[in-house]
């Protein structure tokens, strides 16, 4: 057991960004501190201007690798009182869902001596629909990269912004001095229990600490700076088995009809934000060609609730502990519609990428924050997934030449349902009148 500290949480206004994740999954066990509870060295601002006031790029006091000459330090000095604060290396805590990884002790090393300097461990995390909070994290890391390039190159004009929905993190396997990568699970005591890297899997929700790995390359005439983000710890906040089910659907060329669906969902989100927040000005519109849907696997139970008989697998070592406070939500219906109008249930393994599906969704309204600053998040929760056409038949239709009889955007299905009726356009004002 050990304690993780000296890492900086991202501060946004008078809140911590980790509080923005749905259902408070961003709050590690044993750490319910708010912004006011943190020391200056434990928080990092979300704006470039404030970051420049509290951090700077310093030449390393001891140089072991001539390509790693610099590091970023944090300070809060008070010129008025003459107080000089201690300097700390900037290690930022960020969160997301694991998409891919190689955290084995030697990473991707091929065992060849010549490849040792290129051997890395890596982790890719994604937003999985929580675009706003994930994007805020990306903003902070981009601000840090801008600060470094401004300092060392004199400009940040050549800095290419990071993707908004995915973050790639890495760590050199062989470095001096060698620093062990911490992989663990936070406990209610505030300490961390180490776990083997094999206990992590794709889809886990994790908390990671990163620092700027500043690489200086080139010669005196033409020096260049590269900034990678180096891993220091990976904490499993929630395993994938307890994270929500999810489904991502795309337009596949039928942009007009798919876009109309997005319009309706955006209208619903605007209505909710206007009602609860008084404005929809901050509502970020959904992508036009892709829709991410999710559904929580477990929900909290009250003390007197009758537990759902569909309890977690008793073979799971934490089954009894989970069952005492959580129970599965209503079962997700997965099936195939029949010509009789009924639905035949199928196993989820019968679905595959490329299937044409019908889904039912509702607005999952999440209220987060405190009394001083409440915020509303709207996710779209799955209720059913019906396979209208398997991917093998979709591919045949998509590959067919466009004629009056066969059109990719007009699919006559086996069930007698024809998806060719135009969707009537609804203005937002009409939408408000309809729901009110």
pLDDT, one tens digit per residue, over 355-366 is 999 999 999 888
What CA–CA distance (Å, rounded) separates 182 from 2? 10
pLDDT band at 406 (very low <50, low <70, confident <90, very high): very low
Rounded distance between C-alpha atoms, residue 29 and residue 242, angstroms? 15
The DSSP bridge pattern shows strands 333-337 and 343-345 to be antiparallel
Q: DSSP assignment of 30-90, as one string?
A: T----GGGS-GGGEEESSHHHHHHHEEEEE-SS-SSTT--EEEEE---BTTTTB-PPPEE-
Q: Which pLDDT score, from 0 to 100, does residue 85 have?
A: 74
CA 211/CA 98 separation, integer angstroms: 19
Give the confidence band of 138 by pLDDT, cuts at 50, 70, 90. very high
Taking alpha carbons only, the member of 129, 149, 147 closest to residue 92 is 147
- Cβ-contact 312, 322 below 8 angstroms: yes
Q: Which residue has the higher pLDDT, 104 or 313?
A: 104
What's the average model confidence in pLDDT over 314-322? 50
Cα separation, 389 vs 64, in Å, equals 60
Record the tokens describing residue 94, joined without a space: 């960020």
Alpha-carbon torsion (121, 124, 125, 128), positive or negative: negative
Determine phi and psi for 316, rounding to 5 degrees.
-70, 135
Where residue 66 falls among pLDDT bands split at 50, 70, 90?
confident
- The helix/strand/coil state of 151 is helix
Q: How far is CA 424 from the centre of its chain?
A: 34
* Confidence at residue 64, expressed as pLDDT on a 0 to 100 scale: 82
**Closest Cα to residue 187, out of 237, 239, 242, 244?**
237
**What is the 8-class DSSP label of residue 240?**
T
Residue 199 CB contacts under 8 Å (≥ 6 apart), including other chains: 183, 236
φ, ψ of residue 117 in degrees (nearest 5): -70, -20
Domain boundaries, the chain: 9-238, 245-435
In this prediction, residues 18-33 reach a mean pLDDT of 86
Bond from prior residue into 177 cis (ω within 30 degrees of 0): yes
CA gap 29, 294 in Å, rounded: 24
Q: Greatest CA span in the chain, whole angstroms?
A: 82
pLDDT for residue 312: 47
Summarize pLDDT for 189-246 with one digit per residue, the tens.
889 999 999 999 998 999 999 999 999 887 777 888 999 999 999 999 999 877 766 7
Closest of 27, 28, 32, 38 to residue 74, by C-alpha: 38
Residue 318, SS3 per DSSP: coil
| Alpha carbons 351 and 183: distance in angstroms, whole number | 34
Query: What is the Cβ-side half-sphere exposure of residue 102, based on CA atoms within 13 angstroms?
Result: 12
| The model's pTM | 0.65
At 173, list the tokens: 């396997």
Whether the CB-CB separation of 75 and 55 falls below 8 Å is answered with yes
Alpha carbons 45 and 53: distance in angstroms, whole number: 10
Distance CA 85, CA 89 (A): 13
For residue 405, give the 3-state DSSP assignment. Answer: coil
Which range, 18-22, 133-137, 273-277, has the best average confidence (pLDDT)? 133-137
Non-local (6+) Cβ contacts of 92 within 8 A are: 7, 8, 10, 44, 140, 141, 144, 209, 210, 211
Report angle CA 309, 314, 316 to the nearest 5 degrees: 130
Given pLDDT bands bounded at 50, 70 and 90, which one contains residue 296? confident
């Amino acid at each position: 057991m050990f304690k993780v500290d000296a890492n900086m949480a991202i501060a946004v206004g008078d809140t911590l960004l980790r509080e923005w994740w749905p259902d408070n999954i961003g709050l590690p066990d044993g750490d319910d501190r708010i912004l006011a509870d943190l020391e200056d060295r434990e928080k990092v601002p979300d704006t470039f201007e404030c970051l420049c006031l509290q951090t700077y790029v310093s030449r390393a006091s001891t140089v072991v690798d001539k390509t790693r000459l610099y590091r970023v330090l944090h300070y809060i000095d008070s010129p008025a009182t003459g107080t000089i604060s201690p300097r700390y290396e900037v290690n930022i805590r960020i969160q997301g869902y694991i998409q891919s990884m190689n955290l084995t002790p030697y990473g991707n090393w091929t065992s060849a001596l010549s490849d040792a300097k290129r051997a890395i461990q890596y982790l890719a995390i994604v937003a999985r629909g929580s675009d706003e909070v994930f994007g805020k994290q990306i903003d902070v890391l981009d601000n840090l990269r801008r600060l470094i390039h401004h300092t060392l190159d004199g400009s940040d004009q050549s800095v290419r912004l990071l993707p908004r929905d995915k973050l790639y993190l890495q760590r050199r396997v062989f470095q001096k001095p060698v620093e062990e990568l911490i992989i663990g699970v936070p406990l209610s005591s505030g300490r961390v229990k180490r776990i083997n890297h094999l206990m992590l899997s794709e889809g886990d929700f994790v908390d990671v600490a990163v620092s700027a790995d500043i690489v200086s390359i080139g010669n005196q005439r033409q020096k260049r700076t590269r900034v990678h983000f180096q891993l220091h710890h990976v904490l499993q906040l929630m395993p994938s088995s307890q994270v929500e089910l999810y489904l991502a659907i795309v337009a596949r060329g039928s942009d007009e009809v798919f876009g109309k669906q997005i319009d309706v969902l955006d209208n619903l989100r605007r209505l909710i934000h206007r009602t609860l927040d008084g404005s929809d000005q901050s509502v970020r519109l959904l992508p036009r060609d892709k829709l991410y849907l999710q559904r929580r696997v477990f929900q909290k139970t009250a003390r007197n609730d009758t537990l759902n008989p569909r309890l977690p697998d008793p073979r799971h070592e934490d089954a009894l502990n989970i069952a005492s406070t959580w129970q599965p939500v209503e079962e997700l219906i997965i099936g195939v519609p029949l010509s009789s109008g009924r639905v035949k249930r199928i196993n989820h393994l019968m679905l595959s990428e490329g299937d044409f599906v019908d889904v039912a969704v509702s607005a999952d309204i999440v209220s987060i924050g405190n009394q001083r600053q409440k915020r509303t998040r709207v996710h779209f929760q799955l209720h059913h997934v019906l396979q209208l056409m398997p991917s093998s038949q979709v591919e045949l239709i998509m590959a067919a030449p466009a004629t009056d009889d066969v059109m990719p955007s007009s699919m006559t299905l086996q069930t007698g349902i024809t998806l060719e009726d135009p969707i009537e356009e609804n203005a937002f004002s009409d939408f408000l009148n309809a729901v009110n």
